[in-house]
Chain A
Amino acid sequence: MAHATATVDVMRPPAPAERGVDVYNLKLGMWVFLASEVMFFTALIGSYIVLRFGASPNPWAQPGKVLSIQITAFNTFLLICSSVSMVKAYASIADGNVKLMKVWLLVTILCGATFVGIQVYEYTHLIHHGFQPSGFREGSELAELAAADPVKYGAATAGLYGSTFFTMTGFHGFHVTCGVISMTYVFIRALRGKYSQQDHRGIEVIGLYWHFVDLVWIILFTIVYLI
């Protein structure tokens, strides 16, 4: 094994090695992983696009009829804020300010956890009103509304609406949860003094993941809630 010497810059590619790309392994690994994540969400979102805009003559429920836009808009705002605080955490440690980094990291974790909490609330609320993965529950409030106004509530396509909505937002929520757990792990390591101006790989890499999850949400919010 090569032994580290005093002049090693861990934020650079491993050495000695032929020149690859100019980033260290962990960061490259995260980029590569995110490429596969893009494909995963493409499968889900692509299916949604095909099912919604493909050949079906029946309209889908109008925006805001089944889902609550206000509460989700707030959630979106929260997630965007958490991306900002993530950047602040990274900028702090890059400047060597460990204390400030911990504060911003904690803010990010709290925002992320709140996002998941609000999503759980949203789900229970929706299911209570009769919206579930298989469509509108028989005899529920939403089923009655849809029977009264089939066009506005997309009665004929409720099954697809439920399938795609819960799968896409559910998997996004799962990713946010994974992010919150990973960030908590990073936070504990930060408390133990594992990160410094010279080595803050964990902060940068979890940040990449977090921004990706945020970006996916902005797409999902637009295509699922707003149109």
Chain B
Amino acid sequence: MSSIAAAAPAVHAHHDDRSFIRKYIFSTDHKIIGIQFLFVSLFFLFLGGLLAMQIRWQLGYPGRPMPGGGILPETMAPGGVILPEYYIQLVTMHGTFMVFFAIMPLLVGVFANYLIPLKIGAHDMAFPRINMWSFWSAFTGGLVMFASLFVPEGAARAGWTMYAPLSARHDLSGAGLGQELWSISIVLLGLSSILGSLNYITTIINNRTPGMTWFRLPLSVWALFITAILGLLALPVLSGAAIMLLFEQILGTHFFDPAAGGQVLLWQHLFWFFGHPEVYILILPAMGMVSDIVANGSRKPIFGYHSMVFALVGIGFLGWVVWGHHMFMSGMNPTLGSTFMVTTMIISVPSAIKVFNWMGTMWRGNLRFHVPMLNAIGFVAMFVIGGLSGVFMAATPVDMPIHDTYFIVAHIHYVLFGGSLFALFGAITFWYPNMFGKMMNERWGKIHFWLTMLFFNLTFFPMHILGMGGHMRRIYDPTQYNFLKPYQPMNTFITIAAFALFASQLIFALNFILSLKWGKKAPLNPWEDNGLEWTLPTPPPHGNWDRPPTVYRGPYEYSAPQVAEDYLPQTKKLPTDREPAAAPVAGH
């Protein structure tokens, strides 16, 4: 971490006399906090993957002893055979870990923290100490959730959506402490997100360096800004719901208990009122970072910058008025369902604008297929498939037969894995040199991308067909139904592909870990990018800038005719550039 590139223009390293604990553990430096989030959430990503492998084993080979399953206790898998009550914990915790402790912190915790101050030219977040609390709150939440795997009756069993009354009543779910720990953990995570979001919003509004006007912000920062607003307003609703659920479990309240006049649908409304903005929390940052990477890899300005911004804002707004499309089958008023159907369909307009703009950016570009670019293109392709299957489910009549089947499993994985995770592989590779001063291995990065692309599609595409055939979403043993028996070879095929997909991720893990020590030393601006973060040494020092940089243009001036090289950094002053309006007197 201490390597500072030799030729650092106009920046000298601060003398850093903070103790090890202040510097790396209870750090208030936004970059360290981002990297802390990175390591922790990659661990949870791996853990979530391990749980998924067990799910796949049971579906591919129902009732057969799992290789290596002998190490699990009798209450989970006696003799390696997965029990139904362990299986439901697996699907619950896989979803929970992946959504709340892997993808969400990877996108927001890591990249909002790391990129926002660097990309807008700020010294740090507006509230560095609150930022630190945000990490430790999420970390504690993660620990609590992890611990719930080991309590007597096992982890939560009601699915990651925690539908009441199953989640609310211990006699129904069969899990006691596990359910309660789930609620506690989610409240902690909600607190973390709120603290993080208020930091990101304040920082972006108030701490942009002179010249960094709103419409010169990189799209990644725009996306993270909209995401922060969604997180700020959606997470408290989830926290409120989780608190009610916790009270239901430990205080005997009756919010979701129909016998005492409560309403089970109330939970679904609260959960999805949070849940749909959450969907966009999980994709907007990916879209933003992909926009940066696609423009860089195409050596062209992003196509339709303003329409990209307005599409982000549009998605952010529409995301609040579509939650009912998760509940078409809940017995809610069909007229209301039609309203939600229409609003949901409208969301495909801004989404399509973004996809066409990415293609417009690549069109006739001077394409550089480096690893981040490959993953970004993978994101666009997979997001189109995931987006299109989303339109199927948005239509109420089509949703009715495919609701709660493997079709929805295929859809969510196309947008969350094919979408967000591909973008993350690209983003991690892209900013890795900035974070650690080392490059990740290019060849292994490409091998990882192609294997992942292949096995991802082999794993998840057939799930559409399973779902059309009526294969239920959380079913323990599909062979118990005659009509699903013909699909069993396909299930086995998916399982083999999923194992190969998991194995391919080990390449990424090894590449990530080994490059920390043995990676090639990163040059100052390895991707020849325009962003402010590349004007600093890699890794950037504490406090980032001695004096705030001045910005003269937007971040996407590639192949500009004024300069010889094919990129034009935001801070480079050309003779035609005017200084931004004089800033007020310095001071924090």
The answer to whether A and B assemble together is yes
Binding site for B on A (CB under 8 A): 1-5, 7-10, 12-18, 20-21, 23-26, 28-29, 32-33, 35-37, 39-44, 47, 50-51, 54-56, 58, 133-135, 156-157, 159-160, 162-164, 166-167, 171
Say yes or no: A28-B205 contact (C-beta < 8 A), given A17-B210, A36-B233, A47-B266. Answer: yes
Tell me the complex Cα distance, A161–B19, Å. 53
Say yes or no: A36-B232 contact (C-beta < 8 A), given A56-B261, A159-B260. Answer: yes
CB neighbours of A32 from chain B (8 A): 197-198, 201-202, 232
Q: How far is the CB of A2 from chain B (nearest CB, A)?
A: 4
A3-B255 in contact (CB<8A): no
Q: Which residue of B lies closest to A24 (CB)?
A: B206
B260-A160 in contact (CB<8A): yes
A4-B253 in contact (CB<8A): no
B233-A8 in contact (CB<8A): no
B236-A162 in contact (CB<8A): no
Chain B 247-276 interface 0/1 with A at a Cβ cutoff of 8 Å (1 = within) = 100011111010011110010011000000
Chain B 533-548 interface 0/1 with A at a Cβ cutoff of 8 Å (1 = within) = 0000000000100111
Q: How far is the CB of B524 from chain A (nearest CB, A)?
A: 23
Chain B 383-422 interface 0/1 with A at a Cβ cutoff of 8 Å (1 = within) = 0000000000000000000000000000000000000000
Say yes or no: A2-B586 contact (C-beta < 8 A), given A40-B240, A47-B270, A134-B254. Answer: yes
Using a CB-CB cutoff of 8 Å, which residues 209-228 of chain B contact chain A? 209-213
Stretch at the interface among B136-144, B154-162, B362-370, B577-585: B577-585
Q: A28-B201, A42-B237 are in contact. List 19 more A-B contacts (CB 8 A).
A: A16-B548, A16-B583, A17-B210, A18-B212, A18-B583, A23-B206, A28-B202, A28-B206, A29-B198, A32-B202, A40-B237, A47-B244, A47-B266, A159-B257, A159-B261, A160-B255, A163-B262, A166-B247, A167-B244
Tell me the complex Cα distance, A33–B260, Å. 35
Say yes or no: A133-B253 contact (C-beta < 8 A), given A39-B233, A43-B240. Answer: yes
CB neighbours of B585 from chain A (8 A): 5, 7-8, 15-16
A5-B587 in contact (CB<8A): yes
CB neighbours of A51 from chain B (8 A): 255, 261-263, 266
B206-A21 in contact (CB<8A): yes
B587-A17 in contact (CB<8A): no
Does B192 belong to the interface (CB within 8 Å)? no
CB neighbours of B209 from chain A (8 A): 16-18
Q: How far is the CB of A37 from chain B (nearest CB, A)?
A: 7
Does B239 belong to the interface (CB within 8 Å)? yes
CB neighbours of B548 from chain A (8 A): 2, 16-17
CB neighbours of A162 from chain B (8 A): 253-254
B252-A25 in contact (CB<8A): no
Q: Which residue of A lies closest to B210 (CB)?
A: A16
Does B199 belong to the interface (CB within 8 Å)? yes
In the complex, which of the residues A12, A28, A50, A167 contacts B243, with contact meaning CB atoms closer than 8 Å? A167
In the complex, which of the residues A17, A33, A35 contacts B207, with contact meaning CB atoms closer than 8 Å? A17
Interface centre among A3, A10, A28, A43 (most CB of B within 10 A): A43
- Interface size class, chain B: 35 or more
Q: Which residue of B lies closest to A47 (CB)?
A: B266
Does B471 belong to the interface (CB within 8 Å)? no
Q: How far is the CB of B12 from chain A (nearest CB, A)?
A: 13
Tell me the complex Cα distance, A35–B255, Å. 25
Tell me the complex Cα distance, A41–B236, Å. 8
Does B127 belong to the interface (CB within 8 Å)? yes
CB neighbours of B553 from chain A (8 A): none
CB neighbours of A159 from chain B (8 A): 253-254, 257, 260-262
Tell me the complex Cα distance, A37–B123, Å. 28
CB neighbours of B212 from chain A (8 A): 18
Tell me the complex Cα distance, A163–B201, Å. 34
Tell me the complex Cα distance, A16–B263, Å. 53
Interface centre among B239, B260, B270 (most CB of A within 10 A): B260
In the complex, which of the residues A15, A55, A167 contacts B583, with contact meaning CB atoms closer than 8 Å? A15
A25-B126 in contact (CB<8A): yes
Say yes or no: A14-B587 contact (C-beta < 8 A), given A29-B127, A134-B252. Answer: yes
CB neighbours of B244 from chain A (8 A): 44, 47, 163, 167
Using a CB-CB cutoff of 8 Å, which residues 522-558 of chain B contact chain A? 543, 546-548
In the complex, which of the residues A10, A29, A58, A156 contacts B587, with contact meaning CB atoms closer than 8 Å? A10
CB neighbours of A163 from chain B (8 A): 244, 247, 253-255, 262
B236-A36 in contact (CB<8A): yes
B236-A39 in contact (CB<8A): yes
